[in-house]
Amino acid sequence: MEKPLFLYALCGSQRKASTNRRLLEALRDNAPAGVSIEISELIGELPIFNPDREGENTPVVVEEFAAKVRACDGIVIACPEYAHGLPGGLKNALDWLVSRDEVPFKPAMIAHASHRGDFALDQLTEVVKTMSFRLVDEAFLPISLLGKSEDVQAAVLAESVQNGLLVSALVKFCAAINRAGI
């Protein structure tokens, strides 16, 4: 890594035992030297987006969330598919950032913990591109954990670390960040 990087991870599932959170935790726990990853705990605390509450009326928790996004070098997003769409909490968090200046050209990486969920992936890709995130496609990380027992999930993640898949995606993402000089 050329410089220390801080990545902020957004988990679309608010369940503590979600496969998406587990994938983000594996990324965090196996990040290369010089890379730190914080998984957002604020998404479930954000009020429902309302343009009347922007500007001087912006809730403190939204300002805290936006400050984390501003401070990070890149965003990692993992989310499940709920009823062929994005989870409401994640979409709400992204909506709070739409008219702000933290996002434009911020590098983003998608991690996916399922063997399905193409509707949500397509929607997430469309949303992040529309918001002017710089999606780093070569860092896309699909690791199927959905529907597996905790032991099997642990084994799949351990294998992904061992064979370099997990770290390789992070290295590609960090290289793209460093190339952009962010």
Give the pTM.
Answer: 0.95
Residue 181 has pLDDT above 70, yes or no: no
HEC string for the chain? CCCCEEEEEEECCCCCCCHHHHHHHHHHHCCCCCEEEEECCCHHHCCCCCHHHCHHHCCHHHHHHHHHHHHCCEEEEECCCECCECCHHHHHHHHHHCCCCCCCCCEEEEEECCCCCHHHHHHHHHHHHHCCCEECHHHCEECCCCCCCHHHHHHHHHHHHHCCHHHHHHHHHHHHHHHHCC
pLDDT tens digits for range 126-154: 999 999 999 999 999 999 999 999 999 99
Fold for the domain defined by 5-180:
Rossmann fold (3.40.50)
